[in-house]
Structures are given as C-alpha cells and as structure tokens.
Amino acid sequence: MDRINATEARENLADILNRVAYGKDRVLITRRGRDFVAVVPIEDLELIEQLEDQIDVREAKKALADARKNGTVPWSEAKRELGL
C-alpha cells in the first residue's frame, strides 16, 4: 500500500482514483506525517460494510438475549436515571 501526502494526492487525484478503481491498489493519504484517510476499491468497502453488518446482527442478538434473561428498564426510569 502506497502512502502519499495530501498535497501530492490533490495534484494526482485522477491517477490515484484510476490506480484504486482499476488496479485495485489501496492508497493511504497522510497529513502532517500521519495517516489521514485511505482510498480503497469499492469491493473493499463493500466487504467492510458486510462485516460491520454481521457484527451489528451478532451484538443485537446478544442484547436481545440479555433483555430476555435479565428484563428491561421502563423508559420513564431510564429517562430519570439519565436526567432527561
């Protein structure tokens, strides 16, 4: 994966986009010497989103199981505890 500073990325944006879109490269853009953003192929983004969805579903199932086992808190009580 190449690292390019933000100024260079601005000057070469079309080339970077082509490398990522057609060459399936990944490009890390830095600012002030630190990693700032990544430009990745759409397939990588779609995979990341699928993984996030799977994690969300797993966590939701855990939360539902916990609510079934331990019960829930009435909304009025939750608001009171949160000072709303």
How do residues 38-66 score in pLDDT, each as one tens digit? 999 999 999 999 999 999 999 999 999 99
CB count, 10 Å around CB of 29? 19
| Domain 2-40 in CATH 3.40.1620.10 | yes
Q: If we measure between CA atoms, which residue out of 48, 53, 49, 7 comes closest to residue 30?
A: 7
Judged against a pLDDT cut of 90, whether residue 82 lies above it is answered with: yes
- Give the mean pLDDT of the chain: 96
> What's the one-letter identity of residue 70?
N
Supply the pLDDT for residue 1: 87
d(CA 53, CA 30): 28
Structure tokens belonging to residue 51: 């993984």
